[in-house]
Structure 1
Amino acid sequence: MRQESTKAAHKVTLIGAALDAILGISKIIVGWASNSHALIADGIHSLSDLLTDAMVMVVTYYGRQKPDKNHPYGHARFETMGTLVLGSLLIAVAGAIFYDSLIRLWQTDNLTVPRWPALVVAAISILGKEWIFHYTMRVAQKIRSDLLVANAWHSRSDALSSIVVLIGISGTMLGIQWLDQIAAMIVGLMVAHIGWKLMSGSIKELVDTALPEEETLDMLRHAESIRCVKAIHSLRTRKMGADVFLDIHIEVNPRISVSEGHQIGVQVSQLIRDHHPEVADITFHIDAENDSDDDLPSLEKLPPLRDDVVGQLQYAWRALPIEFQSSQLVLHYLNNRIDIDLYLANSLPVTLSESILKQCLNDKDWLGQLRVWQRNN
């Protein structure tokens, strides 16, 4: 699947690169011959696409590699970095076009009137770039590549800029001589706008910005629809390329088994994936209580684990006629205390009761409830 998506990305990018080269060279040559600075600027914009096309091919190759030891979450961030670089290049090109056009606008004595071949090339450019935009976007949506989406909009920016150039050339030919330079400046601003959108989206992803609230709430609704889920008290999302990674805390009945709690988590994960196929990985935490607002106590203040509990019980009850093994205890950790269920093969001796057992544990501040049960074999 990864190889197929990489081949599809490379194919559409190569076709786009060939179109960019033909259009870019044609615009510059015809723009120079027809005295249209706006068309020359548009041609430079088209040729700059060759750099981004090359970058897209390299980045999609590495970004679509399988996870490995050094990159356990995959390589999708390569695409994010590539999109960030692509946006930066666009802003740099936009600045150069705008500055050069501004200088020429002030030099009114040197302004020339473009000729009709510039109109023809601008019209051909509009048709060609609009076609490659739709083709690239179809492939991008099929293989779920944000980088290809960015490259598609890069092509759309070429089509839009050519429309502006077409208007500018027409106006200049009608006697508004400064309109060609104004058109070139507008092209620069449009290219800068596209570049900034690409950069801002990549920066948000690199700093692990959450998904839009509407998507997060939809995931939350699906998770809470499972009957055994008491509550969802934490749901965190982040993107890595086209993939979404999810951390979710699921509160369940504290008395159920570990395996049942895990199965509830599996059900929640699968339901979210069914409705959001872009989710690549879900880490779920099964919680017995809502601990989202609690500060984690120091290690010394945490209740003891099983081996310590067994040892403390056996020592506290050493003088009593009771024997038990660790496997006969079920421990429930709630509110930083431990509720103990002790299962015995036979009933307690008449000289013993739960209250006596608990009295021996009065100094254990970690103890919650103590319940003794007779296990029927």
Structure 2
Amino acid sequence: MQEESLAEKERLKLIRLAGIIALAGNLILCSAKLVVGFISGSLAVLADGLDSAGDVAIACMTLIISAVISRPSDKDYPWGHGRAETTGSMLLSFIIFFAGSQLSISAAKKLYEIFRYGLEVPVPSLPAVIVTCVSIAGKILLAYSQHIIGKKADSAIISANAQNMLSDVIISASVLIGIGCAVFFKQPVLDPVVAFLVGLWIIKNAVFLFKEINIELMDGNTDEELYRKLFEAIRSIDGVTNPHRARIRKIAAYWDVDLDIEVPPDMSVREAHEKAEAVSAAVKKSIPGIYDIMIHVEPAGLICEYEEEGFGLCEADVYKTRKNND
């Protein structure tokens, strides 16, 4: 337990570090892009600055969440406060979606005014090109740092932020192409066009993030490899048969496991308990990050219609699915 406590403290330190790095880096880039965007009149640069403003909000959220998830379990939250990280990631997807929607709508209105009323659009200035180049370099460094820290901390929100920053690199590169064409080829209409496409890209990322986080919030699990490891660990214990009604759900960086096993019907309660403890130890060794494991012991040969209950997997279910996929 002490080792787990130390590991959790180290994880929280990494999450806070990632939040501070992201906050400082994005605050600088956001300020630069918004100022240059307003001065140069570039809608694409303003759009990129708006996206970075969202990243600043994400970094602040990460720091707040690191304080929430550090709280120990209590009677109101017996599984701890780890889901605050998941909830924060879900909120993040809505923020990103809103920013992308507003950006696309603004760019679409600008394009409508240009083609419908012949609105004159100013050509972005050279500083807009420079600040976008700086943004690309800065986002690459931030994305790399978030990816490394997110992997070490096994943090959903940091990993999502790293993916978001990689998308930002593509966004800034697109903005650079649009502004470059507008400046050097005197085609300012490309600026709102790029801004509109960037908005669509942001929306796509928000939807993808929502779908990923929703699986965890719904206590789902699409990682079949985890079930394979679970059943292999159970199979290593002599006298334990027919593992079934297995369910694995994620709680932040940890796994909560429920399953049924069968033991010989003439086995004593003490012996059955020892078998369950052996299964628990084997599973924890096979699958790192187990928060809790609940094992229900049944006598072998008991007729149980668990297949009709509609939840949980047995070993045959997993390998049947693998065979069909292959």
The TM-score bracket by the shorter chain reads 0.7 to 0.9
Q: Secondary structure at the match of 2:257?
A: strand
Tell me the TM-score normalized by structure 2.
0.85
Q: Which residue identity does 1:286 align to in structure 2? A: V
Tell me the equivalent position of 1:227: 238
State the alpha-carbon separation in 2 of the partners of residues 40 and 268 from structure 1: 57
1:331-368 Cα offsets, whole Å, 9 max, x none, are: xxxxxxxxxxxxxxxxxxxxxxxxxxxxxxxxxxxxxx
Q: 1:88 aligns with which of 94, 100, 116?
A: 94
Tell me the equivalent position of 2:32: 26
Tell me the TM-score normalized by structure 1.
0.74
Q: Secondary structure at the match of 2:248?
A: strand
Tell me the equivalent position of 1:13: 19
Matched-pair contact (CA < 8 Å) for 1:35–1:112: yes
Matched-pair contact (CA < 8 Å) for 1:244–1:281: yes
1:51-90 alignment, distance < 5 Å: 51-90=57-96
> Which structure 1 residue ranges, 5 or more long, are not aligned?
296-377
For the aligned residues, what is the CA RMSD? 1.9
Matched-pair contact (CA < 8 Å) for 1:171–1:179: yes
**Is 2:269 aligned against 1:263?**
no
Tell me the equivalent position of 2:260: 249
- Going from structure 1 to structure 2, the CA distance change for 1:226 and 1:101 (only over 3 Å counts) comes to same
Aligned-residue sequence identity (percent) comes to: 29
Give the drift of 1:93.
0.5
Tell me the equivalent position of 2:138: 128
Q: Which residue identity does 1:230 align to in structure 2? A: T
Matched-pair contact (CA < 8 Å) for 1:234–1:292: no
**Is 2:17 aligned against 1:4?**
no
Tell me the equivalent position of 1:107: 113
- In terms of fraction of residues, the more helix-rich structure is 2
**Is 2:281 aligned against 1:275?**
no
Tell me the equivalent position of 1:293: 305
State the alpha-carbon separation in 1 of the partners of residues 257 and 12 from structure 2: 25
**Is 2:227 aligned against 1:216?**
yes
- Going from structure 1 to structure 2, the CA distance change for 1:11 and 1:294 (only over 3 Å counts) comes to closer
Q: 2:205 aligns with which of 179, 183, 194?
A: 194
1:128-147 alignment, distance < 5 Å: 128-147=138-157
Give the drift of 1:200.
1.8
Matched-pair contact (CA < 8 Å) for 1:211–1:239: no
> Which structure 2 residue ranges, 5 or more long, are not aligned?
1-5, 308-326
1:148-159 alignment, distance < 5 Å: 148-159=158-169
Q: Which residue identity does 1:279 align to in structure 2? A: I
Matched-pair contact (CA < 8 Å) for 1:223–1:268: yes
Tell me the equivalent position of 1:116: 126
Give the drift of 1:206.
1.6
Q: Secondary structure at the match of 2:256?
A: strand
- Going from structure 1 to structure 2, the CA distance change for 1:292 and 1:122 (only over 3 Å counts) comes to farther
Paired residues in the alignment total: 296
